[in-house]
A and B are shown apart, each in its own frame.
Chain A
C-alpha cells in the first residue's frame, strides 16, 4: 500500500528542486511570499509561547515545525471559501486573514477570540477531535447546492483519523461529491501516542481508497508541494470533481501544549535534528539562497515588519480590557429564554452589590 502512495516532494531538504513539474510557477514573488508567511507564523508561535510563559495568556498549543503544511495549504483559498482549523492551526488561520489580536485573545480565554474578521469564513478552532470534518463537508455541500465555486478546507491530525467522524466526513463528502479538501497534518503524534499505535496503515492517504476519492501524500515540510497539491485539489473540487484527502507528513518539534512534557514519550534529540534537516523555513531559505533571491538585509527588514505587527497585536490584546462576563448569557440564544434572562438579571444585580 505504502508504495502506491509515495511521498511527493518538490524541494528536498537541501533546498534543491527534485521535481520540475511546477517550476515555471515557482516565481521569485511567490517564493518570497511563502517565506514571509511562514516566518510570520513562526514568529507568532514563538511569541505566543513566550506570552504563555510570562502568564500573559493561558495554555497555548504550539505548531512550530508545521508552518509549511499550514501556510502552503491555506494560501490557495479564495474569498468566500470555508476554513475549519483545529486548536493547532493558527498559521493557517493567520494566513487566511484571522487577526493576530483575536488569536491571542483566544488563548487568553476571551470569547472574542473565536470571532473571525468580517467576511472571513473561519470557524472557531475545533477542540473535540475530528468533529469538524463533517462541518466542512456540510458547508461545502451547501456551496455546491447554491451553485457557487466555493469550497472548504478542513485541518486535522493523525490521531483524528481514528475517530468515527473522520470516516463519516469522508464518506458523506464522497457520496455527495462535496467540494472539500481534507487536509491532514501527520505530525507523528497524538499527544504521546505515536502513529504506529494509532493505526496499522503506513499512510493516511491510503484511507481515501475506501471512499473512492483521491488520496495524496506530500512532504509537509516542503511548502511548494503542499501549495501546488492543495491548489490542484481545491481547483478539482471547484470544478465539481469532489473531495480529496491530503496527508502532509510533518513534525511537531515541541510539546503537544504548553501544559505537556514531551520528554516523557519521545527522544528530544530527534526534535533538534529535525530543526537542522527537515525544517520548512530553513529549506526554503536554502532554496532562496540557491536561486540568489536571498539577502540578509531583506530578511532583517521582513523580520522587523513582522515584529512590529505582532507587538501591535499584543498591545491590542492587552488593551482589550477585561473579558465581559455577560457575554456568557447574551449569546446562548438569539432571544434569551426566561431561565437565561433570569440568571442574567440576577448576575447583574449581584455584580452591582459587590461593587
Chain B
C-alpha cells in the first residue's frame, strides 16, 4: 500500500524555510535566531514568513553580535531548547569562532554527556553571486577540523529540507552550510511532509566506470556539467558523488566508487591548502590505495582570499578545469 506523497516545487532556499517551519510546527522548543531573521525574513528570505507564523518569541531578531548569538544559543540548547542560529554569511562567523571552538563542540565531552548542545548553525557561503568583499568565503575546513561538530552542505532543495530536519533532530551541534549559488538556481519536487536525509551519507548522482568525481555544495553543479561534457567529448564515464556531509564523511560511498573506477578528481572552491579535499585523498589512500590507477587530482580555489567580484570567476573552479584534471588522471 502506498499513499502518494504530496510534493511541491521549491527552490533550495524555500526548502530550507519549509524545513524550519515543519519542525517549528511540531516542536515548541525549536527557535530561530539571528540578524534580520524576523520581520525582514533574512537577507536571503530563508526565514520569510516564520515570524508571522510563530511570533517574535520564537523567531528572534537578535542584536548584531555573532559571538552573542552562538554563545546564548549554547545556553538555550543546554537548557531545553533547540536553537537554529543564523549567521548572515559564513564570512561573518569569525567573531563566533571562539564560542564554537571552545564551547559548542566540546561541552558533551567535557561533561561526559551531562550537558549537550543540540543546536544548528546555518550560514550562507561561497562565491559566484557577486557579493561584496568577505561575504563569499568557503571555510568549511575550519570546522571539519574541530572534533565535536558536524558539517553538512546540501546542494539541492530535496536534500536541503531532509538534511536540515535531520540536523535539527541531531543531538549534537551541526554547522549547516548553504551554498548561495544554489539558493535559487533550480527547483525540485519536495515532499510537504517531514522526512530526513541521513547526516553522513553522500549521494551518487551518476554511475560511471572511468573516474570518480567528488564535490559538495555549489561545485556539485560544476562536476555534473564536466561529467556530461567529458562523456560527449571523450567518451569518459564518470561516477559523480555529492558528499552532502563533510564531517562525518561517507567513507563507504567514496571507497566503493574509487575501487570501481581507480581514479578520482575532487573539486572544491575553498583554497587547496588545508582544504577538505585533502581529507578525501587521505581517506582514499587508507581504504583503496591498491585499487588506484592514477594519482588523485584536486581542483580547488586558489590559496588567495576570495577576490572582489570583478575577478571572482577567475578564482572559482569551472567545468573546463575539472575536465582538464579528468583527462590528466585518464592519460596518466
**B304: which of A128, A264, A340 is its contact (CB, 8 Å)?**
A340
Is B67's beta carbon under 8 Å from chain A? yes
Contacting pair A109 B310 (CB below 8 A): yes
B residues less than 8 Å from A108 (CB atoms): 310
The answer to the question of B142 belonging to the interface, with a C-beta cut-off of 8 Å to chain A, is no
Residues of A within 8 A of B132 (CB): 58-59, 87, 127
Given that A191-B35, A328-B314 are known contacts, is A199 also in contact with B40, CB under 8 Å in the complex?
no
Q: Bound state CA distance, A267 and B311, in angstroms? A: 38
Q: Give bound CA distance, A126 to B64, whole Å.
A: 15
Q: Within the assembled complex, what's the spacing in Å between the Cα atoms of A227 and B64?
A: 29
Whether B308 lies near A113 (C-beta < 8 A) is: yes
Within 8 A of B (CB), among A130-177: 131, 159-160, 162-165
Q: Name the A residues within 8 Å of B269 (CB-CB).
A: none
Given A127-B132, A128-B134, answer yes or no on A328-B310 (Cβ-Cβ < 8 Å). no
The 8 A CB mask of A311-355 against B (1 = contact, 0 = none) is 000000000001111011100100001011001000100100000
Contact at B61–A163, with CB atoms within 8 Å? no
- Is the pair A164, B303 in contact by a Cβ cutoff of 8 Å? no
Q: B66 CB to closest chain A CB, in angstroms?
A: 8
Cβ of A191: which chain B residues have Cβ within 8 Å of it? 35-36, 40, 43
Q: How far is the CB of B40 from chain A (nearest CB, A)?
A: 4
CA distance A199 to B62 in the complex (A): 10
Chain A positions within 8 Å of B309 at CB level: 58, 109
Q: Which chain A residues lie closer than 8 Å to B95 at the CB level?
A: 128, 131, 163-165
Q: Is the pair A193, B64 in contact by a Cβ cutoff of 8 Å?
A: yes
Closest partner residue, chain B, to A160 (CB atom): B64
Please give me the residue from chain B that is nearest to A350 by CB atom.
Answer: B321
- In the complex, A265 has a CB within 8 A of chain B: yes
Contact (Cβ within 8 A) A339 B133: no
Residue B295 at the chain A interface, CB threshold 8 Å: no
Contact at A264–B65, with CB atoms within 8 Å?
no
Interface range, B side? 35 or more
0 or 1 for each of B299-320: is its CB under 8 Å from A? (1 = yes): 0001111011111101100000
Neighbouring A residues of B305 by C-beta, 8 Å: 328, 332
* Interface assignment of A240: CB less than 8 Å from any CB of chain B: no
Residues of B close to A192: CB separation below 8 A: 36, 38-40, 61
Assess whether B303 is in contact with A339, with CB atoms less than 8 Å apart.
yes
| The residue from B39, B91, B304 contacting A332, defined by CB atoms under 8 A apart | B304
Q: List residues of chain B with CB within 8 A of the CB of A350.
A: 321
CB-based contact B63/A198 at 8 Å: yes
- With A59-B131, A190-B35, A332-B304 already in contact, the answer to whether A162 and B64 are too (CB < 8 A) is yes
B33-66 residues at the A interface, CB under 8 angstroms: 35-36, 38-41, 43, 61, 63-66
Could you tell me the distance between the alpha carbons of A327 and B66 in the complex, rounded to whole angstroms? 31
Nearest CB of chain B from residue A119's CB, rounded to whole Å = 24
Whether the pair A340, B303 counts as a contact (CB closer than 8 A) is yes
Task: Say yes or no for B272: interface residue by CB 8 A criterion.
Answer: yes
Chain A stretch 253-282: residues in CB contact (< 8 A) with chain B: 259-260, 264-265
Confirm or deny: B191 has a beta carbon within 8 angstroms of a beta carbon on chain A: no
How many Å lie between the Cα of A129 and that of B135 in the bound state? 12
Q: Is B130 in the interface zone, CB < 8 Å from A?
A: yes
Please, how many angstroms separate the alpha-carbon atoms of A109 and B321 in the complex?
24
A162 with B302, Cβ < 8 A, contacts A59-B131, A191-B43, A328-B315 known: no
Q: How far is the CA of A127 from the CA of B92 in the complex (A)?
A: 9
Expressed in whole angstroms, the Cα–Cα distance for A108 and B39 within the complex equals 30
A111 to B308, CA, bound (A): 6
**Do B307 and A328 touch across chains, with their CB atoms under 8 A apart?**
yes
Chain B contacts for A58, CB-based, 8 A: 130, 132, 309
B307 & A343 in contact (Cβ 8 Å cutoff): no
Looking across the interface, which residue of chain A has its beta carbon closest to that of B321? A350
Contacts of A332 in B (CB 8 A): 303-305
Chain B residue at smallest Cβ distance from A60: B132
- Given A59-B130, A260-B43, A339-B272; A193-B61 close (CB under 8 Å): yes
Point out the residues of chain B lying under 8 angstroms from A131, CB to CB: 95
Looking at the assembled complex, report how far the CB atom of A319 sits from the nearest CB atom of chain B, in whole angstroms. 15
Q: Could you mark each residue 197-238 of chain A with 1 if its beta carbon is under 8 Å from any beta carbon of chain B, else 0? A: 111000000000000000000000000000000000000000
Does B248 touch A at the CB level, under 8 Å?
A: no
CB-CB contacts below 8 Å: B90-139 with A:
91-92, 94-95, 130-135
Binding site for B on A (CB under 8 A): 58-59, 87, 108-111, 113-114, 125, 127-129, 131, 159-160, 162-165, 190-193, 197-199, 259-260, 264-265, 322-325, 327-329, 332, 337, 339-340, 343, 347, 350
Q: Could you name 30 residue pairs across A and B whose Cβ atoms are closer than 8 Å?
A: A87-B132, A109-B312, A111-B307, A114-B308, A129-B92, A159-B63, A159-B64, A160-B64, A162-B65, A163-B64, A163-B67, A164-B65, A164-B67, A191-B35, A192-B38, A193-B63, A264-B39, A323-B310, A324-B311, A325-B311, A328-B302, A328-B311, A328-B315, A329-B302, A329-B304, A337-B303, A339-B272, A340-B302, A347-B314, A350-B321
The 6 closest A-B pairs by CB, nearest first: A109-B309, A192-B40, A109-B310, A162-B63, A323-B310, A325-B314
Known: A87-B132, A327-B307. 16 other contacts (CB 8 A): A113-B308, A114-B308, A127-B132, A128-B91, A162-B68, A163-B95, A164-B65, A192-B61, A193-B36, A325-B307, A325-B314, A328-B302, A328-B311, A328-B315, A332-B305, A343-B272
